[in-house]
Amino acid sequence: MSEACSADQLNVLLNFLHDNKELARGMLRTSDGRARAKRLWKEISQLLNSLGGSIKTVQQWQKVWTDRKYLEKKNAAAVRRDHTGTRRGPSSASLAQWEIRVLEIIGEGFGGPQTTGRVPAFPIIVSIFIIMLSYRSRLNVYKNNIRMYLVGR
């Protein structure tokens, strides 16, 4: 049951996920979306199992996709490093056609650092509060210094 999937099964899986990119990218997060994702994964699992080759559960097919995404991102990073390296001579590293398809499905920059939709580490209100506390502590130091000066006089 845990054997590798056939080339036909992988091709059908990639075609299906190309047509359902929101499923491939894990974007179906609402309650309706989760129900749709569950239905789509059941549908593709039945189709893949009917092709012959490897027979897997829905969870195992999901794991195949998760593993493919991980491996292709890793391979793409290695190829990128090889192409931008300082070695002499032409680069020998490249990606297979189906590896490129996986990267096209998940989209550019998938899994990389987010550049939009960030929440600031310290919202303005917290920043103002921290500034006020620092001034307050400085004022207490000044008050104590003035008291010491006056008492010492």
Compute the average pLDDT of residues 113-131: 55
Model pLDDT, residue 124: 58
Model pLDDT, residue 88: 60
d(CA 53, CA 8): 9
Q: Which position has the higher pLDDT, 152 or 50? A: 50
d(CA 93, CA 134): 55
Phi-psi region of 130 (alpha: psi -120 to 50; beta: other; left: phi over 0): alpha
pLDDT of 136 strictly over 60: yes
Model pLDDT, residue 39: 97
H helices of 7-111, in order, are 7-19, 21-24, 31-50, 58-84, 97-106
Decide: 66 and 102 in contact? Cβ < 8 Å. Answer: no
pLDDT of 52 strictly over 50: yes
For 93-119, what is each residue's pLDDT tens digit?
678 888 888 888 888 665 555 455 555
Query: Domain-by-domain residue ranges, the chain?
Result: 1-112, 120-153
